[in-house]
A and B are shown apart, each in its own frame.
Chain A
């Protein structure tokens, strides 16, 4: 468990489908400078090998609901990066 200070928020990031395959993992924990948004999580993720192949504007969810890139992210949130949906 990563300890976060007041100046960072620690979030759990989930990867699915082709994104998980490309990253070689399905989940990771990130500490992001506060105040954090989905976009800042993506920036940090993209700087790592895990997220280097993510598209510019992937679909994202925060705590089980679709989110925008400017959606605020809080300590303990679950951020999911979603490949193009293919249900049905």
Chain B
């Protein structure tokens, strides 16, 4: 299964992949390109990836989610040039009930942002172009998720509170 795509993402196709008669709850998340960054107007983004590792890391993240919760998940990340409003990342998690679906979906997006080697260049309305370099709050291989400020694991009813890798 390929997780990276240079074509528009199809959330419906991801939902179809996780749908099953016994799964009554499907949670989805779609991250889209926004038109501003730190007060400046953005025209478009250009995503690039370390393809082989991004594929491997997405596969690991999906497997982890399916091991932590009784869910089926699907995710995809776009690469290439994206216009405002286009989906950069999309995912779906299906479970018997909504709690596990939401928890797994949240896990997917947080881990994708933290671990998958993808970068983006912003094209601003004023003509400048720059790499987006978020302040790295944790080193994926070293820092446990619990040590990170800002992403407290929300309580759920599955008993899973460990968001660590």
Contacts and interface: CB of A to CB of B under 8 A. Distances in A.
Contact of A85 (B52, B117, B142): B117
Given A80-B53, A87-B116, A17 B109 contact: no
Given A83-B131, A83-B133, A86-B133, A61 B118 contact: no
A25 B113 CA distance: 26
Contacts of A14: 50
Given A16-B50, A16-B117, A64 B134 contact: no
A85 B139 contact: no
A66 B54 CA distance: 11
Interface in A38-84: 57, 59, 61, 64-68, 71, 80, 82-84
B24 to A, nearest CB: 27
B77 interface: yes
Interface residues of B, number: 33
B141 interface: yes
Nearest to A14: B50
A66 B114 CA distance: 11
Contacts of B141: 65-68, 71
Contacts of A67: 141
Given A64-B53, A88-B31, A88-B88, 15 more contacts: A16-B48, A16-B50, A16-B117, A16-B119, A61-B117, A64-B56, A65-B53, A67-B141, A68-B139, A68-B142, A84-B136, A87-B88, A87-B112, A88-B89, A88-B109
Q: Which 6 A-B pairs have the closest CB atoms?
A: A87-B118, A66-B141, A17-B119, A88-B113, A66-B140, A64-B53
